Amino acid sequence: MSSALLHLLGLCLLLPAYSLLAAAQTAPAPQTIRLQSRVVPVEATLRRRALNPVTVPLADFFLGTDLQWFGNLTVGTPPQTVSVVFDTGSSTLEFASTLCGAPCDNQVKFDSSKSSTFVDGGTTSSITFSTGVGVDPVVGANYRLTLRSGRDTVGIGGLSAPATSLFLITNQTAKFGIDPFSGIQGMGARAQGLFASLVSQGLPSLFSLYLTPKAVGNAEMTVGGIDSTKFAGNLTFASVANANSNTWSLTSPQLFVNGKTTTVLKASRNVIFDSGTSNILFPTATANAMYALISADIAPHAAEPGAYGIACDKIGSLPAVIDIGFTSQNGVAFNLTIPSSELNVGPFADNPAICQTLINAFDGLSLVGGSVLKHYYSVWDVGGHRMGFAAI
Ligand SMILES: *[C@@H]1O[C@H](CO)[C@@H](O)[C@H](O)[C@H]1NC(C)=O
Ligand SMILES: *[C@@H]1O[C@H](CO)[C@@H](O)[C@H](O)[C@H]1NC(C)=O
Ligand SMILES: *[C@@H]1O[C@H](CO)[C@@H](O)[C@H](O)[C@H]1NC(C)=O
Ligand SMILES: *[C@@H]1O[C@H](CO)[C@@H](O)[C@H](O)[C@H]1NC(C)=O
């Protein structure tokens, strides 16, 4: 099971590749650290020993479609490798540990007893997930992570953050075991945990994602910088909708599908960017308005509330270009474009003749992820409260 966590207004939603929707009983207490501006006072600069950006390779979790991208951290002393999804929809770090028995057996487990720097935080919490929609129906099931708080040294690409707040997974619903990674590193819009520590050591307060389709490969994340070898044109920057929020979201004045718009699609909305989610989510009326411009044959999939589908033999030829309009910091309109090739998410498990379509209905939220991000180089400027995009 994919496991991107979106912490939104105190609510913790699981909005992963399979678009499960979740509510936290007890969300892991995020470690909140004062925002670091990228433009730091001179004295602070002099006191600091600047860190240089590092780039880490990312692997693609692909199941019929590109679901999530994950890479390695090291945790503890001596360092143990822990693979995580770098998830812009959440903020904390959690991963499988040896405190978790059989349910975590398919994953590499961190052994805190072998780390001389591990400190037990003493608190236990859990996150439960109720199902929403996805290619792998789990209606009625409860998905749960049980967590134990702690602190340890966390490293990435040779950079190191001592005494970083983290959560050990001590139990999980067995189905999480299909994840080819051990956990999640939240990369929310306010610096916390690992990233905040690196920024306080002098790393520039931004990171960049190059999330490629599996066929292209070489996906990577650069922490503290921008890898300008990965795109040709200019980056276009837009200010985040709310500079105080931990959520990466931009205000979109308008959506277009196949070059057309409607009254419903012309509404201004804040669109969340979640690298841990592959489908896109819009309120039901918006989803229906979008599908109306694609095909009358796309229908809600009864087995999974919020999911839609169409006969797999009809989906391949459907034009479904989605342009999400934004406005740059310079006041210039630009679109982020999802090509027609993203429409097909793959066959439903309960009916393989029906293929799930990209847009999920979810009232109260507009959210995009991998299906748009993999067509752009993206810069997540934490200190500058803005996001940058360049076509790749
Ligand atoms: C993570 O590290 C393991 C070895 O510890 C390596 O096999 C794997 O390729 C690494 N993954 C990535 C995405 O770099
Ligand atoms: C682990 O979680 C499963 C499923 O939620 C539950 O049935 C089981 O009792 C839990 N095991 C422990 C040791 O808490
Ligand atoms: C990039 O920006 C520079 C400076 O504003 C401009 O001269 C150039 O034409 C731009 N390139 C593209 C591909 O838009
Ligand atoms: C955005 O896409 C729509 C629909 O294709 C198009 O009409 C509009 O001109 C585009 N806007 C920009 C700034 O490219």
Annotated domain spans of the chain: 6-34+227-391, 53-205
Q: What is the pLDDT, as a whole number, of residue 50?
A: 87
String of DSSP letters for 280-340: EEE-HHHHHHHHHTT-TT-EE-TTSTT-EEEEHHHHTT----EEEEEE-TTS-EEEEEE-G
Classify burial at 69, counting beta carbons within 10 Å of its beta carbon; exposed 0-12, middle 13-18, buried 19 or more.
Answer: buried
**Ligand 3 centre and the CA of 234: distance in Å?**
6
**Residues pairing with 82 in the sheet:** 73
For residue 232 and ligand 3, the question of a CB distance below 6 A is answered with no
- Residue 284 and residue 274: Cα distance in Å, rounded? 19
Run of H or E residues at 370: helix 370-373
Q: What is the pLDDT, as a whole number, of residue 110?
A: 98
For residue 233 and ligand 3, the question of a CB distance below 6 A is answered with yes
Q: Strand, helix or coil at 82?
A: strand
Q: What is the pLDDT, as a whole number, of residue 173?
A: 85
Q: What is the pLDDT, as a whole number, of residue 141?
A: 54
Residue located nearest, by CA, to atom 4 of ligand 3:
234
Residue 311 neighbours by CB under 8 Å, 6+ apart: 297, 353, 354, 355
Q: Which atom of ligand 1 is nearest to the CA of 72?
A: 1
Q: Which atom of ligand 3 is nearest to the CA of 233?
A: 13
Architecture of domain 53-205: Beta Barrel (2.40)
Run of H or E residues at 372: helix 370-373
CA 194 to chain centre: 16
87 is a catalytic site residue: yes
Q: Which atom of ligand 2 is nearest to the CA of 142?
A: 5
Which residue in the list 66, 152, 179, 274 is annotated as catalytic? 274
Split the chain (392 residues) into runs of 10 and give each run's mean pLDDT.
30 33 33 33 52 97 88 98 95 96 95 98 82 40 85 98 98 85 95 96 97 95 97 96 96 98 97 92 97 97 90 94 98 98 91 94 92 97 98 94
Query: Could you give phi then psi for residue 57, rounded to 5 degrees?
Result: -70, 150
To test the pocket of ligand 1, the residue of 56, 73, 83 to mutate (highest count of ligand atoms within 8 Å of its CB) is 83
Side-chain-side CA neighbours of residue 247 (13 Å): 23
Q: What is the pLDDT, as a whole number, of residue 142?
A: 64
**Ligand 3 centre and the CA of 53: distance in Å?**
25
Q: What is the pLDDT, as a whole number, of residue 149?
A: 97
Amino acid at 373: L
Q: What is the CATH number of domain 6-34+227-391?
A: 2.40.70.10
Q: What is the pLDDT, as a whole number, of residue 184?
A: 92
66 is a catalytic site residue: no
